[in-house]
Every structure is written in structure tokens, then in C-alpha cells.
Amino acid sequence: MRQSPSIVPLDRLDRDIYLVLEDFGARAGCAWRETDEQDTDRETVLRDLLSGQYAYPVRIVAFNAIEGWSRDATEDIADALAERAARERLDLTSALEAFVQANASLPVALQLALPLRGAA
């Protein structure tokens, strides 16, 4: 039997893909967010989390269909968010701060930028 070619180019799938499980509240529950294919890389997910695109993230998974693996990336993403927030002095929403506190691998102490009165 002759095998037909795939309609999806393989190079589009040969990369790590990240998906976010979000909690939409008691009535709606949790769901994997629908997203465009080009917005499923690690950096875009980090940017979207920091910009408030996800209100209450619960879990993040990563997978690579061509390599045949999947894993829970929640801890890695929480660590990256904590590191970036500290480095760039970013304010996190209370929900995102709770996500980082609950999932980071190391104890996280997010330092908020406070003005020093009388400091010259």
C-alpha cells in the first residue's frame, strides 16, 4: 500500500510546544487554552503569562511530537518567571505570584521595588 504524504510539514512539528491549563473559576472549571500554533513556544508563553494573557494558570505541559516525549513544565516556567521578574523588576499579578510561589523549585522571594524616602 502506498503511503500518502502528510499535509502538515514535519519541520513545523519538530519543536517543543508549550500549552497552559487555566482555571476559569468554579462554574467553568479548568481548560487547556486555545492558542495559535506560532504562540506555543516557551518564550511566547512566558511573555503571555507576564502580560496577563492567562489570569489563573494551573499547569504547563511541554511536548515534542516528532521526538515522542511530553513532560510537566510547570516548575521550569515558574522558575523562569521568578527569575525574569526579579531581573527586570516586574510586578506580577497576585494570581501569577501565587502560581510562582506554589510551583517554583527554590524558595522565591519576589522583591517589590519600593521608593526609599530621604535617600539621595
- Considering its fold, how many domains does the chain have in total? 1
Cβ neighbours for 99, distance < 8 A, ≥ 6 positions apart: 56, 57, 58, 78, 81
User: Which helix H or strand E contains 14, and what residues bound it?
Assistant: none
* Domain-embedded: residue 69: yes
pLDDT above 50 (res 112): no
- What is the span of the domain harbouring residue 21? 14-103
What Cα–Cα distance (Å) separates residue 116 from each residue in 86, 87, 102, 119, 120? 18, 19, 30, 6, 9
Q: Which one-letter amino acid corresponds to residue 8?
A: V
* Domain-embedded: residue 1: no
pLDDT value for 33: 87
Give per-residue pLDDT as tens, 40-70: 999 999 999 999 999 899 999 999 988 999 9
- Average pLDDT of 5-24? 78
Full DSSP string of 56-75: SEEEEEEEETTTTEEEE-HH
